[in-house]
Copies of this chain bind each other. A is one copy, B any other.
Amino acid sequence: MSVHPFDLAIALDAVAPGRYRGHTSTAYANMIGPFGGITAAQLLAAVLRTDDRHGTPLACTVNFLAPVADGEFILSVRKTRQNNSSQHWLVELLQGDDPDPRANATVITALRRETWNAIEIPHPPVPPAADVAVTEKPALMRWPDSYEFRFIEGGFPSRSEGPELKSSCTIAWMRDQPPRPLDFPALMSLSDSFFPRVFVRRPRWVPAGTMSITTYFHCTDTDLAAVGASHLLAIANGQVFNGGFFDQTAHLWSDGGQCLATSHQIVYFKE
């Protein structure tokens, strides 16, 4: 049985205490360099590889500082604080002789307890994944081939210019392609799988890229095991576009109606 491309992408070799060597993945290539979601997943995977980690991911902020070049990278992981029920981590992605990181992340891992639970964000009425057609992908970059998209609202940004829309909302059933049981790195990557909202809102391709993404996890390993390889309901919305930057939010739901993750990112764009 062959190894799933996502597992190959997040595979890390321990080269020294707190240092792991990884490699960019052609299956998750963007137009230039890797898809940001896979870089985010690799940074989170480094924390999960440490010997003294306890708990599961609660929050992960990834900053994209400079383009990641195709090839090897080193992930340097530092535990910045150990508390009774949580740990804080700082991860840096380094390449070649460059003394500055190309990406970094702050991560919180924590032990969850059974408590009063509630979901305040709306879950839109949607047809089941099986009733929504799989969308053909634009052949512009590789990484979308590693996901299955079934769009309910919105879709891939058009390559031709169109009139400005009032909303950049996208609603889709999504999962890894080929299907793969969900884990935290995959959920992190999925939280960054939404095209820049500026492409959707004002149909026109312009240079754009995520500068920082923060994802909050609302689930345990048990919750993710229950999801398995089924589809997630993925919802993204733009917020404020100003001065060459904008932010967008995302909600990722299991098909059982649990909100597994909420995410927020800031993106640059050029005209």
Contacts and interface: CB of A to CB of B under 8 A. Distances in A.
* Tally of this chain's copies: 2
Contact of A83 (B66, B81, B101, B237): B66
A117 B168 CA distance: 14
Interface string A229-271: 0000000011111111101010000000001001010101101
Interface string A167-206: 1100000000000000000000000000001000110000
Given A115-B243, A120-B237, A240-B259, A106 B266 contact: no
Given A218-B240, A218-B242, A220-B243, A63 B108 contact: yes
A76 interface: no
Contact of A211 (B108, B112, B202, B269): B108
A211 to B, nearest CB: 6
A214 B262 contact: no
A159 B115 CA distance: 21
B112 A242 contact: yes
Interface in A55-109: 58-59, 61, 63, 65-66, 80-83, 86, 88, 90, 92, 100-101, 104, 106, 108
A81 B61 contact: no
A167 B65 CA distance: 38
B66 A247 contact: no
B243 A112 contact: yes
Contacts of A216: 240, 245, 247, 264, 266
A119 interface: yes
Interface in A110-158: 110, 112-121
Given A100-B81, A201-B120, A211-B86, A110 B245 contact: yes
Contact of A243 (B86, B92, B114): B114
Contact of A104 (B80, B116, B264): B80
Contact of A112 (B92, B214, B245): B245
A42 interface: no
Given A112-B242, A121-B239, A61 B100 contact: no
A58 B115 contact: no
A165 B121 CA distance: 14
A219 interface: yes
A39 interface: no
Contacts of A264: 214, 216, 249, 262, 264
Given A81-B101, A117-B242, 11 more contacts: A58-B211, A59-B211, A59-B212, A66-B83, A86-B268, A104-B106, A110-B211, A112-B242, A120-B167, A120-B241, A121-B240
